[in-house]
Amino acid sequence: MEETKVKRMNKTSTTVCLAFVVFLLGLPLANGADSRPNVLFIMVDDLRPELGCYGSPYVQSPNIDSLATQGLVFKRAYCQQAHCRPSRYSLLSGLRPDSAGIWTKEDVRPALADTPLLPDYFKQHGYYCVGIGKIAHNNEEDPACWSEPHSMPQNYRFEYRTRAGRAMVDQMQRQASEAGLPNPFEGVSESKRRGMPYECLDVADNELSDGQIADEAIAALKRLQDRPFFLGLGFLRPHLPFVAPRHYWDLYDPEQLPTVDPTAAHDGIPKLSSANSSELRKQYRNVPAEGNLPDELNRNLWHGYLASVSYVDAQIGRVLDTLNRLGLADNTIVVIAGDHGFSLGELGLWGKATNFESATRTTLIIYSPGMKASSESTESLVELVGLYPTLCDLARIPKPNHLQGKSFSTLLDVPDRATSDCAISQYGRGDNMGRSIRTERYRLVEWRHRESGKLVGRELYDHENDPNETTNLCESTEHNGTRDSLPEKLHEVTPHRRAGDQ
């Protein structure tokens, strides 16, 4: 009888203990008691690998460079399409542009209606998710991604125009009104209102959007420190127009900046591939629509781009300093990624929107607590579409089944062990789509009609002998084997799809 009583007491005690454990598991845990790492995910618009940690002799980027001494620098990270919206939705969905159904800045996301974007997936796994700035595209931020309303600086949209451009528009509208004339800008496109493509301002950092994003990020870190969080930040610069406070312009001597060779020839390159980005050519004042840019404009654009990079670097530094000061750095994954590259006069091109190396290769730096390859770099080919599964691995949460990108989390421990043998990018031009495969040595681009699939152009570049991609080798009999073998891999990863296919 006593034995039975003891057994019953033990059984009752076990039940009570189990119930108590279940109760505890349901309580929110302080960050120090929760082993899950936080995520600080920083997207920077149009940030090509023009940074000190990538070997640039021009730019001053001490804060991003400092993170690089703790994390891993990906020397060959590639976007899936060199345009803001397609690239960002590919990264955030883990799908290639053809599967996401987003190829232009106008495309909506019907194919993604049932696909959890990266922050949404982390939210489903217990993270408190906060978004500040341009993470998807402009104000098009999915409410499902965030645990509280997404935040965008009040004047964000205006910063696609310079202040001088806005002042000009305001003055002309005021003069027309005083004279009883119609508004001269009624129905006029936004691009005609923008002014010059660069501007140096006598303002404090937080009078511009990126300073305000940093302010909000610092406040968010202070209130999120006691729970696992995913904090997404999207900085606007160095997107055009290149606008920054004067003290960042003063970091550079214009006479010491690189000169642009406008005569760089494209030998045998299809016209489809080298069509210039309309963003600079058609949307800003005093920029010729065709032909070479004047030397002074080339130099001013370079100056403005570098000043913008240094300005954003300082804002990122403020955020990282707060992360350290709050004692969160040791348990926070930090990602700094450009959404794509940006041509700064290479091959006579300015902007993104091509399949060339300068447009598709981008910035990627990752720090993860406990990583073995800190303060190192890797030459392994990686794709931004692989960031989704990589972050799942690093945060130790299961990967969803829909992902098309390949995780490269193992590189953070063994950076010289390649996780992929190629990177795929694409960009459309009118009725045609150009799909590119970048391997260790070569880049092959196939241009096909969107509807019929007819081959209308090909490019092959040998990066060992032609890193600037100036000579198309597709007609070289010496390279027949490479030209004919690479399409098989390209079609395997991204088969031709008709326009409208999902």
Active site members? 84, 137
Instruction: Find all residues with CB under 8 Å of 465, minimum gap 6, and list them.
Output: none
The owner of tokens 């990686």 is 382
- Collapsing DSSP to helix, strand or coil, 449 comes out as strand
CA distance 134 to 411: 28
CA distance 454 to 82: 23
DSSP string over 290-323:
SSPPPHHHHHHHHHHHHHHHHHHHHHHHHHHHHH
CA distance 371 to 358: 29
Structure tokens at 190: 């936004």
Buried b (16+ CB within 10 A) or exposed e, 6-36: eeeeeeeeeeeeeeeeeeeeeeeeebeeeeb
Buried b (16+ CB within 10 A) or exposed e, 329-352: bebbbbbbbbbbbbbbbbbbbbbb
- Collapsing DSSP to helix, strand or coil, 334 comes out as strand
Instruction: Find all residues with CB under 8 Å of 370, minimum gap 6, and list them.
Output: none
Among 472, 461, 405, which Cα is nearest to 437's?
A: 461
- Collapsing DSSP to helix, strand or coil, 381 comes out as coil
- Taking residue 370's Cβ as centre, other Cβ atoms within 10 Å add up to 11
**73 φ/ψ angles, rounded to the nearest 5 degrees:** -95, 120
CA distance 1 to 397: 49
Q: Are strands 77-78 and 361-362 parallel, antiparallel or unpaired?
A: antiparallel
Buried b (16+ CB within 10 A) or exposed e, 409-429: bebbeebeebbbebbbbbbbb
CA distance 224 to 230: 9
